[in-house]
Chain A
Amino acid sequence: MTPPVRTTRLSARDTLSEALAGILRRPGRAVLTALGTVLGVGSFVAVLGLTATLSSRIDGRFNLLTATEVSVQDVAAEHDEFAGPAFPADAEQRLRQVAGIAHAGVLWTVRLDPGTAVGSLPTGAGAGAAEGGAGGGGTAVVAASPGAVAALAPTLRQGRLYDEFAERTHQRVAVLGSGVADRLGITTLATRPVVHIGQEPFTVAGIIADVERRPEHLLSVLVPRATAEELWGPPGPASASLLIDTELGAARQVAGLVPLALRPDHPEYLKAVPPPDPRVLRSGVTSDLSALFLLLAGICLVIGAVGIANTTLVAVLERTGEIGLRRALGARGRHVWAQFLTESAALGALGGLVGTALGELTVVGVSLVRDWTPVIHPATVAAAPLAGLLTGLLAGLHPAWRAARIEPAEALRR
C-alpha cells in the first residue's frame, strides 16, 4: 500500500545548511566544543611535521663525505687465530679492478717497541728513553699506502705526499700531520728536515695541514706501508684497516664487492662498513622520536572526541524543544539524526582545519627559531582535517541517536 501522503524529505544541502546555522549562530560555543579537536589535530600535524623536519636535518648531516666512505676491517682473528693479516700485499692493485673506487689503501698504527719514540734525534736503544723521550711520547706512527693517504683527502701545507715509487722502493720518507710538525718545530722543508722513529731517520716529504677523514691522523707520522713492514713487521691481528674513497652513490656496491675482490678464498676475514643507509636512518628516527608524541596526539584527539560528544549531548538536551518543533513540522527521526550528526561532523572538520593550520604554524615557528627547513608531508596536511571530520562523526553518533529517539509529544511539553 502506498502512503496516502508524500513522505517528507531533508535534502543534503538543507541538512548541511541547518548544521552550519546551528554552529555559526553560536560561534563561542562552537569554538569551545571544537577545542579538543583543534588541539588533537594540531598536535598530530605538529608532531608529524617536526619529525619530517628533523629527518630532513639528518639527511643534511648525512653529507657527501660520509656517503662516499667505506672502511674495511681485518676480522680474520675472529675466524681463525692463525690466519695472519687479512689484507694481501697487492690489495691496492686488486682494488683497481673494482669499479666505483676513487682512492683506496691499507693503513694501520705501527706498534713500536717500548722506549721507541718519534723525535728530531735518534731515540731508543743506545740513546735511552729519558733523553730522547722529549720530542716523542704519544706520537703515533701510521703505516699507510699512498692510496690510503689520498683517501684521507688531505690538504698539504708544504711539500708533497709520497707516491707509488716510494712505496715500491721502501723509501725512508714520512708525511707529518700538522700537529706533529708543530711539536717537532718543523716549520719549513727548505732545510730538508729529518725525523727519527727510534733509530731510523726519515726524510720529511710533506706536512699535512688538514684531512677531511680520520682527523686523528693530524697527530701522526705517516710512512709508506712497505717501509713499515720492512722495519717493524706486518700489522698485528685486527689492527689494519682499508680506507676507500668511492664515487658518489657507489659506496654500498663497493662495500659488497671488496671482501670478495681481496680475499676470494676467505671473504669473511674482511668486514666492510658502508655508510649508513639514509632511508634506514630516517625510519629509525621516525619510529623512536614520534611514537610517543603520536600517542599523545591520539589521546588529545580522543579527548577532543569526548568533548564534542559531551557538548553535543548537552546541546541535544538543551534543544529538546527545537527537536519537538522540527518533528511537528514534519521531520522524521532520521532527519533529526542527520542534522545533529552533520553538525558534529562539521564541528570536527572545522576543528581539524584550524588544528592543521595551528600545527603547521608550530612547525614553521619552531623551524624559524632553530634555523631549520620546515618539512611537512602533503599527505599529513590532506589527512588532518579528515581526521577531525572523522572524530566529529564518531563523537556525534550517540548524541544524534539520542536526539532522534526523543518523543515529539514529550519534547513539546517543555
Chain B
Amino acid sequence: MTAPVIEFRGVGLTYPGPPAVAALRPCDLRVPRGEFVTVVGPSGSGKSTFLNVAGLLDSPTCGRYLLDGIDTAALPDRSRAALRGRRIGFVFQAFHLLPHRSALENVTLAMLYTEVPRKERLVRAREVLAQVGLAHRADAVPGRLSGGERQRVAIARALVGRPSLLLCDEPTGNLDSANAASVLALLDELHGAGMTVVVITHDPGVAARGHRTVTLHDGRLRA
C-alpha cells in the first residue's frame, strides 16, 4: 500500500461557540509510511486537538482526513472505533495502565476488541513485552514498575495490535531524564524497524529526535 499513513486535506476543527474557537486551523499534512514526525508547540497551541483528530477521537469540522488512504470523514462511529483499535497505537503521557492488572494483562487488553483468540493474545503480549525489554516484569502490576517501565508497557500495548501508526502524546512528559532517554531510544528502535511514529511534545529536545518536525502555534500547523 503506497498511500500515506496520515493525509490531512484542509483539515480543521472549530469548537462551536459562543465564542467559536478555532482549535486547529485548516491545514494539509502528509506522513508517509515509515516516517518519524514530531509535532511541537507550546501548551494551548492545539496539540491536544491535533492528537484527537489524528487519533480519530474527535471529528474535524472541515476538510478530509485519510488514514491509510481511507477517508474517515464519512465513517460511522463504529468504523472510527474499529480504525482506532486496528490501525492506531496510542501512547499517553499518563500511561493509562489499569492499576490492578499485571503488565501482561495490560498488554492483552489491546487485543480484547479486535477478535484475537484468547490464547494468541498471551503469546503475542509476551513477545511484545520481550521486544520492549520487559519480559521479566510481565507479572508485575503497574504500581511496582518504574515510570520508564510503565511507559514501555504502554508502548508494548500500542504495538501489540500491529498498527500502521504509533501516536504518542508527550510520551516522556512524566519521566525523569534517564527513563525518558530509554523510552526515546525505544521509539528510535521501532522507527528503525519500519514503524510510522508521530510524537506530540512541547519539549524541543524530544522534537529534535524526529525525522521531521512540524510546529503548532495558535492552532496553525507549519510543516
Contacts and interface: CB of A to CB of B under 8 A. Distances in A.
B15 to A, nearest CB: 12
Contact of B112 (A4, A26, A329): A329
B76 A328 contact: no
Given A21-B101, A332-B78, A6 B115 contact: yes
A3 B79 contact: yes
Interface stretch (A130-138, A139-147, A319-327): A319-327
B85 A329 contact: yes
Nearest to A325: B96
Given A325-B96, A329-B84, A412-B92, A7 B79 contact: yes
A229 interface: no
B58 interface: yes
Contacts of A408: 57
- Residues of A in contact with B, size category: 20 to 34
B52 A409 contact: yes
Given A5-B86, A25-B101, A408-B57, A330 B96 contact: no
B145 interface: no
B86 to A, nearest CB: 6
A324 B78 contact: no
Nearest to A26: B100
B223 interface: no
B82 to A, nearest CB: 5
B83 A335 contact: no
Nearest to B75: A3
A413 interface: yes
A26 B101 CA distance: 11
A392 interface: no
Nearest to A321: B96
B138 interface: no
A332 B76 CA distance: 11
Interface string B151-168: 000000100010000000
B82 A7 contact: yes
Nearest to A25: B100
A154 interface: no
Interface of B: 48, 52, 55, 57-58, 70, 75-79, 81-88, 90, 92, 94, 96, 98, 100-101, 105, 109-110, 112-115, 118, 157, 161
Given A6-B86, A7-B81, 11 more contacts: A6-B82, A8-B82, A8-B113, A13-B118, A18-B112, A325-B109, A327-B81, A328-B57, A330-B84, A331-B85, A409-B52
7 contacts: A3-B82, A7-B82, A8-B82, A8-B115, A330-B85, A332-B113, A413-B48
Interface of A: 3-10, 13-14, 18, 21, 25-26, 321-322, 324-333, 335, 408-409, 412-414
Closest 9 CB pairs of A and B: A330-B85, A25-B100, A8-B113, A330-B113, A409-B57, A3-B79, A325-B96, A409-B52, A5-B82
